[in-house]
Chains A and B, each alone.
Chain A
Amino acid sequence: AQTVTQSQPEMSVQEAETVTLSCTYDTSENNYYLFWYKQPPSRQMILVIRQEAYKQQNATENRFSVNFQKAAKSFSLKISDSQLGDTAMYFCAFMEQNTGGFKTIFGAGTRLFVKA
C-alpha cells in the first residue's frame, strides 16, 4: 500500500529565512502525482504546488519550490523568504490512478511557525 511520511511534526523559521519540509513516499507505481497543501488556522486546504512523477524538472511556484527525487521517493518543499502568513500546517500528498479512479493519500503533516 502507498504511504506518505512527513518526519517533522513541527518546524519554525525566522521571517525572511528559508525552510525545507521533508516528505517521503512509498509506491510501486511509475506514474503518479505529488502535491503540497497548506492548511492555515482557518482550516481551509490550499494547494501550494504540484509535481508530476514523469517530469524531471522540479516544480516552482513563486517562493515555493520542490526537490523531487524519484529514485529516492522524496518530495521536499522549500519555502524561500518565509512570511508570517506562511504559518500553517503543511501536508504532503500522493495521488495515483487505480481501478477505482484517482485516490489521494496525505502525510501526517508538518506544523510550520514563522517567527517575526
Chain B
Amino acid sequence: GAVVSQHPSRVICKSGTSVKIECRSLDFQATTMFWYRQFPKQSLMLMATSNEGSKATYEQGVEKDKFLINHASLTLSTLTVTSAHPEDSSFYICSARPETGHNQPQHFGDGTRLSIL
C-alpha cells in the first residue's frame, strides 16, 4: 500500500531555533501534500496544502512566514517552523494522496512531536 514517511518523529529544541520536518511519499508520486497540526485531544487542523513546483496554499490564520513549505519534487515536501517558540509546540502530521484512481484516500506520515523549550 501507499506509504508516507515523515522525519523526524520527535524534536526538542530551544526557543528561536528553526526546525525542518520532511514528508516523503515512498512508493507513489504526489503533486499535492498536506500539512496538519494536532493539539492534544483535538482533531487535525489543516495548515496548508503543499503544491509541487509552486507556492503552498495556506489556510486562514496560518502564518506563511512562520511555517515555510517547500515541495521541490514529486515525493518530498518540507515544513520549516521558523524561529520556533513554545506556542509552536504541537504534533505535526503530513499526508499525501496517490493520484492514480479517483477514490484514493490520504495516507499519513507518523507525525512529528515538536517541543520548544
Contacts and interface: CB of A to CB of B under 8 A. Distances in A.
Interface of A is mostly: strand
26 contacts: A33-B103, A35-B105, A42-B110, A43-B38, A43-B110, A44-B108, A44-B110, A45-B95, A45-B108, A45-B111, A50-B103, A52-B103, A100-B49, A100-B57, A101-B32, A102-B32, A102-B97, A103-B46, A104-B34, A104-B95, A104-B106, A105-B46, A106-B43, A108-B42, A108-B43, A109-B43
B44 interface: yes
| Max chain A Cβ within 10 angstroms of own Cβ: one of B41, B44, B95, B110 | B44
Contact of A44 (B34, B106, B111): B111
Interface of A: 33, 35, 37, 42-45, 47, 50, 52, 91, 95, 100-109, 111
Interface in B81-115: 91, 93, 95, 97, 103, 105-108, 110-111, 113
Interface size class of B (residues with CB under 8 A): 20 to 34
Given A50-B105, A105-B46, 17 more contacts: A33-B103, A35-B105, A37-B108, A42-B110, A43-B38, A43-B91, A43-B93, A43-B111, A44-B110, A45-B108, A50-B103, A52-B103, A100-B57, A101-B49, A102-B97, A103-B46, A111-B41
